[in-house]
Amino acid sequence: MDKQYLLAPGPTPIPPEVLLTMAGPIVHHRAPVYERKLEEVREGLKYLFQTKKEVLIFASSGTGAMEGAVTNTLCAGDKAIVVEGGKFGERWANICKAYGVKAQVLPVEWGRSIDPALIDQALKEDRSIKAVFTQATETSTGVVYPIKEIAEIVTRYPGTLIVVDAISHLGAVELPMDAWKLDIVVAGSQKALMLPPGLAFAALSDKAWDFVEKSTLPKFYFDFKKELKNLTQNQSAYTPAVSLIMGLAESLKKIKEEGLENIFARHARLAKATREAMLALGLKLYAPQAHSNAVTAVVAPPGVDGQKVVKILRDKHHLTIAGGQDQAKGKIFRIAHLGYVDKFDIIMAVAAVEMTLKELGYVGEMGKGVRAAMEVLIDGK
């Protein structure tokens, strides 16, 4: 018996009804039945992004939409700020570099958050900065950045966009695009959307669309303007990932049914239970504060290799979480509470971590972590 459990920060588990929808016979993307489905999807995405703007859909990994956010708004030689406090901040910097955008990196110590005042200062010093690229949740460290505060600052600079990679964040943690005046929000299918990887999303404010008009960086597949034109006719510029779109319609329906507020509350509760459980085990959180409710990064106890924790969990207990990346490799392990996850998933994950640490000689009373999680979870749904 090897019943498998998945609690990694993407891909995340998929509801069986969504899997079955995607297993239906394939539909032609120029047929009315598909177009009606896409119309439904457009509405559902607007609800999820909390925006009145259209949400573009691409058949690609989330990185494709990140690339598009750069190439559709900027010109070669443009200046930008990148908040870099982890692996995905680095990605923004690498994309900028690939396209000749001069990225000024604001380095953030891994596991820490950013002081928005630093962004204000950088923008004040150089009014020609065209965009601020950041994550909402930095998946590699489990940190949530103060996007609302950052956006309040950037909004004061009419020549600067605030571009948010919300791939591991949207649909798990609050991020109302229009209310916070975010210029571009990027998301992916394999996180809180409860779908397989393969779809990327991007929504743009009016201000961002103005930038699109002036952008001269080359693009073709990730051409936002072309995609918008097609989308408003319930089509796409190129053959869409039909089966994923059908699944998306299902998952968006589930999201609407549960309601964003309830979803955010659930993620907050699951995240709190995970954190309390780890602390009860005497473990430290990688982020001293600013914990994202999407994923919890835990410091491996002294003498214990974080990668080994992940490996034992996977190979012996058939439960997949994530290890640390790059500079955090071996130092941490990451438990996601993201998407189709409920209280019992967390209890199970905590129990598995406890058993694994016991096996690794990290002595402690078994059940302490589970108990702490249960105490948080008993009051929630």
Binding site for its own copies (CB under 8 A): 4, 6, 8, 10-14, 19-20, 22-31, 58-64, 67, 94-95, 98-100, 188, 190, 196-198, 217-223, 237-244, 314, 320, 322
Residue nearer to its own copies on the CB measure, 98 or 366 = 98
Which of residues 25 and 303 has its CB atom nearest to its own copies in the complex?
25
Contacts of 8 (CB under 8 A, 6+ apart): 320, 321, 322, 334, 336
Kindly tell me which of 41 and 281 has the beta carbon lying closer to its own copies: 41
Closest CB to its own copies among residues 234, 243: 243
Q: Minimal CA–CA distance to 348: which of 258, 262, 267, 270? A: 270
Neighbours of 366 (CB within 10 A): 13
Amino acid 346 reads I
Tokens encoding 352: 């598995």
**Complex with its own copies: residue 20 or 117, whichever CB lies closer:** 20
Closer CB to its own copies, 7 or 83, in the complex: 7
Q: Minimum CB separation from its own copies for residue 33, in Å? A: 9
Instruction: Compute the least distance from the CB of residue 12 to its own copies, in Å.
Output: 7
Whole-number minimum distance, CB 269 to its own copies, in Å? 24
Based on CB atoms, which residue is closest to its own copies, 27 or 279?
A: 27
Q: Least distance (Å) from its own copies to the CB of residue 353?
A: 17
Nearer to its own copies, 14 or 277 (CB): 14
Least spacing, CB of residue 39 vs its own copies, in Å: 18
Q: Which is nearer to its own copies, 98 or 179 (CB)?
A: 98
CB of 311 to its own copies, least distance (A): 10
Minimum Å gap between C-beta 13 and its own copies is 6
In the complex, what is the shortest distance from the CB of residue 299 to its own copies, in angstroms, rounded to a whole number? 21
Q: State in angstroms the smallest separation of the CB of 351 from its own copies.
A: 20
